[in-house]
Chain A
Amino acid sequence: MDEIYDVIIVGAGAAGLTAGIYSSRAKQKTLILNEGAIGGQMVLTHEIANYPGVESTQGYSLSNTMKKQAKSFGADIKSNAKIIAYHLEDTIKWVELEDGRTFKGKSVILAPGGRPRSLNIPGEDTFKGTGISYCATCDGEFFTNKEIVVVGGGNSALEEAVSLTKFATKITIVHQFDHFQAFEHAIKEAKENPKIEFVMESELRSFNGNGTLNSVDIEHLPTGKMTTKNIEGAFIFVGYSPNTHEFKNLINLNERNEFIVDSDLKTNIPGVFAAGDCIAKKYRQVTTAVADGTIASLSSSEYLRNLK
């Protein structure tokens, strides 16, 4: 007979790992299934200086500690687990993986997080790793003494552009609106940096090159005028989308494709909870994801108690 977990947690970012810590410590048979990197977007953060109780740490370090904590309490963590089908309506819920494995559970906590948006324009796939990057901390030094573009207008785009000025000779920030959606201090720092220029109300239309990236085509949106800019690198920071597309016909989502949950993080399906960046909420921080993971696990525990 197949093993039945008390709780299956989908996702191993801050929310999923926290739910895993709480559920496994409560002696529930806990499985964490993760498709991407353990730690989720937490590992994207070089330094975390505002996590209470920890003076300063690196994202991967905090994520590693959470993973070890969950494992130490008995949680079973499987990475590279691509789920192709969810069966969530019945009392015993189950998921099917791409490799043919199936897992059953009495409750499910969905914490699939989000993924960086890509531009989906010609040349983007071709030049990933040979001119296009999504991580300034990882790849900044490869662009030493080169001219680059940064695409985006939020905090990530502006802060990473400033950090890239350590390497690049000149940075052009291309943003689709006439204003930025970032904190004032981030905008001020970018505007005061002599290496940074701004191309507003514009979008990239293609990445061009032969083997390596050497230019981008940019459209000025109000006029439709196209220009080609010679550059050797591009960093893309255009936000995140919730990883909820596979739940569209299963669970109630809002217009931004975020899970609709109540204050106990219950979805519309009994025994199915959601936590972290994928739920409808205003603020997305490691601390809020940790809080969500805690609440989802406690709500799931209550649900399991009432099942008996």
Chain B
Amino acid sequence: MKRLQTEIHEIETASELEKLVAENENVMVCCGRMGPMCIPVYDTMEELESERSTIKFYSMAFDSPEAAPIRNAAMCKGFMGLPFTVYYKNGVMVQATSSIQNRSQITPILDQHFK
């Protein structure tokens, strides 16, 4: 069941996340709620989706038990602000950020890992 009202595709299960990450070279997932710190990240991803065809952009509901692989990821240890935004390169989580991020904070991460 979809929980987020965003224009980007929502991952609903842990197995869907696992398959997606395994089958795609570059994946960015914003794991959050429909809150003020999360919505700006979804908006930015929505824009970037039309500009960066080599990257898959997805959202995932933080409160879903299926999001445990992100919530409990080693890279997210100590995070205390939504959303948890994670980046996968060739199946491996290479970066994670906590709380609100704007376009100028996200694009350097994409440039660094997804060249």
Interface residues of A (CB under 8 A from B): 36-39, 43-44, 58-61, 64, 79-80, 82, 128-131, 133-135, 137-139, 142-143, 211-212, 233
Contact = CB atoms under 8 A, between A and B. Distances in A.
Given A60-B5, A61-B5, A80-B102, A130 B39 contact: no
A248 to B, nearest CB: 23
Given A37-B36, A135-B35, A135-B37, A129 B81 contact: yes
Interface of B: 5, 33-40, 43-44, 46-47, 78-82, 97-99, 102-104
A134 B36 CA distance: 10
16 contacts: A44-B36, A58-B34, A59-B36, A60-B5, A64-B5, A80-B102, A128-B81, A128-B99, A130-B81, A133-B80, A135-B37, A138-B35, A138-B36, A138-B82, A139-B80, A142-B79
B35 A79 contact: no
A133 B35 CA distance: 13
Contacts of B46: 79
Nearest to B102: A80
Contacts of B36: 37, 43-44, 59-60, 135, 138
Given A128-B99, A143-B80, A233-B80, A36 B37 contact: no
A80 B44 contact: yes
Contacts of B37: 134-135, 138-139
A79 B44 contact: yes
B78 A211 contact: yes
Contacts of A38: 39, 43
Count chain A CB atoms within 10 A of each CB in B5, B36, B39, B44 and give the residue with the most.
B36
